[in-house]
Amino acid sequence: MNRMPVAERREQLVEAALTVASRDGIEAATVRAVAAEAGVSLGVVHYCFQDKDELLRAMAHAITERNTVRGLEDLPQGLPPATAIEYAIEAVWASISGTRGSQLLSYELTTASLRSAELNKVAMEQYEGQWAAATQVLEAIGHAADVSWSMDAEEIARIVVAVVDGYSLAWLVDGDAEKALRGLHGLGGYLATLTVPRDGAAATEPATDPALAAPAADPAGAA
Amino acid sequence: MNRMPVAERREQLVEAALTVASRDGIEAATVRAVAAEAGVSLGVVHYCFQDKDELLRAMAHAITERNTVRGLEDLPQGLPPATAIEYAIEAVWASISGTRGSQLLSYELTTASLRSAELNKVAMEQYEGQWAAATQVLEAIGHAADVSWSMDAEEIARIVVAVVDGYSLAWLVDGDAEKALRGLHGLGGYLATLTVPRDGAAATEPATDPALAAPAADPAGAA
DNA sequence: GAGTGACTTGAACATCTGTCCAAGTCAAGT
DNA sequence: ACTTGACTTGGACAGATGTTCAAGTCACTC
């Protein structure tokens, strides 16, 4: 095969590992399968990585970064908060539902990390990445809709990540994207109640209608 | 070893598989490891189960049933809705946080099921069990606090399962039980807004304070 | 107490896995 | 041209895993 410097070869192997593992599961990502996917002979993998675990760590790092970088900087400005939130939720969901294999692989990596000493930090890095990304999205929403949040953004981020995780998992199992998206819009409605106009005062529409906390979760809203 | 009828031996092997897999992960639950854990020789496993997959399916069925049966029938009666909900949440969380290995195994089984044709139905059965259990809990709350729900209980159950799943996963990773429980109490606050007194009329305390939707998620509430 | 059939045993087999390594190939510098 | 060293190759090895099987053991019935 083509010769190339180790650094480049490593990237190629990580890409191949990602392809195999997303398609067939983390268990299928054997050294041989990755080498074959990259069109490279067996020994190359151990020339580029000391361990199989080092390869897996590199793969985990890559997928975490890839899920994180979606910084959602392209939020239209000047929208009302509820609209900005809905927009962000649609974008997040699109990037999840379009990458089923990767999502499933993420969960596989999480559980593998929690069992294996060598993959120790992988799961924590994944979550820190997700919390940071969610915080960033919240701040982008605040900026786009000119609101701030009535709680620490990082604290809200934890809520967002937990709920998104929960619905993603359910969707992976039952394949019902519509229900998942409806649930996420429910989260959006809740988030809207946590916004505060930038110049201070009270929450946007505090006591008008508590059902606003979950408009899309209302059967009438989507059915 | 002691002789025993196949049916009984099967139960023993499922138990052993559960022990090994909860302790060391699903990958560690090899035929040999399970046989050793049960104090039985290798051939017995294939005498009782046609496949390793059949053993895993039986194990999955057992753990699903075990997580489901916690019907929470012992809810004190006559409580105000918010209190009944908090009580139920504490109980649910206690049964989760007390069985870390089993929880982790559940997620491992879910991902394994989504990758393997042989374990096809395992994940869906898990979720159907959880949704049913959540529905049961919601009805128990309704009965204990003499309220009904402003949405289909099954629809709320999906929300509950998603959020509980999300916080459980985060807790498995970061080990922060306090934050998880706080998040679940936030869910509880939200659920309280979905209750309706049994004789009809409006929601319990609809417009008084929207912050009630997440009282425990408020930093001041727990810190 | 002999026989029957349910249960048990552990060796054996084929396959797969991560890892190693001796030999090979190639590009660049002298 | 030749040397050096980075990169590649694929065979070899040890260990683990699922599965099979012929032989053994025991309880129970007639």
User: Which 3-state string (H, E, C) describes chain A?
Assistant: CCCCCHHHHHHHHHHHHHHHHHHHCHHHCCHHHHHHHHCCCHHHHHHHCCCHHHHHHHHHHHHHHHHHHCCCCCCCCCCCHHHHHHHHHHHHHHHHHCCHHHHHHHHHHHHHHHHCCCCCCHHHHHHHHHHHHHHHHHHHHHHHHCEEECCCHHHHHHHHHHHHHHHHHHHHHHCCHHHHHHHHHHHHHHHHCCEEECCCCCCCCCCCCHHHHCCCCCHHHHC
Q: What is the pLDDT of residue B221?
A: 35
Query: Is A24 in contact with B115 (Cβ distance < 8 A)?
Result: yes
Q: How many angstroms separate the CA of residue A174 from the nearest CA in chain B?
A: 7
Confidence class for position B74, pLDDT limits 50, 70, 90 = confident
User: For residue B197, what is the enclosing H or E element?
Assistant: strand B195-197
**Residue A117 CA, nucleotide C24 C1', distance (Å):** 37
| pLDDT reading at B33 higher than 60 | yes
Q: Which nucleotide is nearest to A118 (CA to C1')?
A: C18
Q: Is the CB of B118 under 7 A from strand D?
A: no
The nearest alpha carbon in chain B to A164 belongs to B166
Q: Which residues contact A150 (CB under 8 A, 6 or more apart)?
A: A194, A195, A196, A203
- Distance, in angstroms, between A23 CA and closest chain B CA? 9
Identify the residue among B115, B151, B193, B194 best suited for mutation to test binding to A, counting A beta carbons within 10 A and taking the highest: B115
Residue with the larger pLDDT of the pair B106 and B200: B106
B116 min Cα distance to partner chain A (Å): 9
Q: How far is CA A179 from CA A174, A182, A217, B22, in A?
A: 10, 5, 9, 31
Contacts of B107 in chain A (CB under 8 A): 107, 110-111
Task: List chain B domain ranges.
Answer: 6-49, 71-222
Which residues of A are less than 8 Å from B186 in CB distance?
159
What's the pLDDT score for residue A74?
Answer: 77
CA distance B153 to B137: 10
**Average pLDDT value over all residues in chain A:** 88
- Whole-number Å distance, CA B1 to C1' D14? 32
| A173: nearest CB among B114, B193, B217 | B114
Q: Which residue of A has its CA nearest to B187?
A: A159
pLDDT at A75: 84
Domain B6-49: give its CATH code: 1.10.10.60
Task: Identify nearest nucleotide to residue A56 by CA to C1′ distance.
Answer: C18
The reply to whether residue A169 touches residue B162, judged by beta carbons under 8 angstroms, is yes
Contacts of A190 in chain B (CB under 8 A): 190, 213-214
Contacts of A179 in chain B (CB under 8 A): 158
Q: How far is the CA of B14 from the C1' of C1 (A)?
A: 39
Residue B158 and residue A126: Cβ atoms within 8 Å?
no
What's the CATH number of domain A1-49, 1.10.10, 1.20.120, 3.40.50, 2.60.40? Answer: 1.10.10
Find the residue in A nearest to B218 (Cα).
A151
% of chain B residues with pLDDT over 90 = 80
pLDDT tens-place string over residues A22-77: 999 999 999 999 999 999 999 999 999 999 999 999 999 999 998 876 666 678 89
For strand D, give the nucleotides within 7 A of a protein CB: 6-12, 16-22, 26-27
Q: Which of A167-181, A209-223, B25-39 has the lowest mean pLDDT?
A: A209-223
Name the least confident of A144-158, B43-57, B207-221. B207-221
Q: Would you say the C-beta of B30 is within 7 Å of strand D?
A: yes
3-state percent helix, strand, coil for chain B, nearest multiple of 5: 70, 5, 25
At residue A112's C-alpha, the angle toward residues A108 and A117, to 5°, is 160
Mean pLDDT rounded to a whole number for chain B: 88
Q: Which tops the pLDDT comparison, B159 or B75?
A: B159
- The DSSP string of B198-220 is TT-SS-SS-SS-GGGGSTTTSHH
pLDDT at B210: 38
Taking only the tens place, the pLDDT of each residue in B83-133 is 999 999 999 999 999 999 999 999 999 999 999 999 999 999 999 999 999
pLDDT for res B69: 60
Let me know: does B158 contact A170? Beta carbons within 8 Å: yes
C1' of nucleotide C21: residue with nearest CA: A43
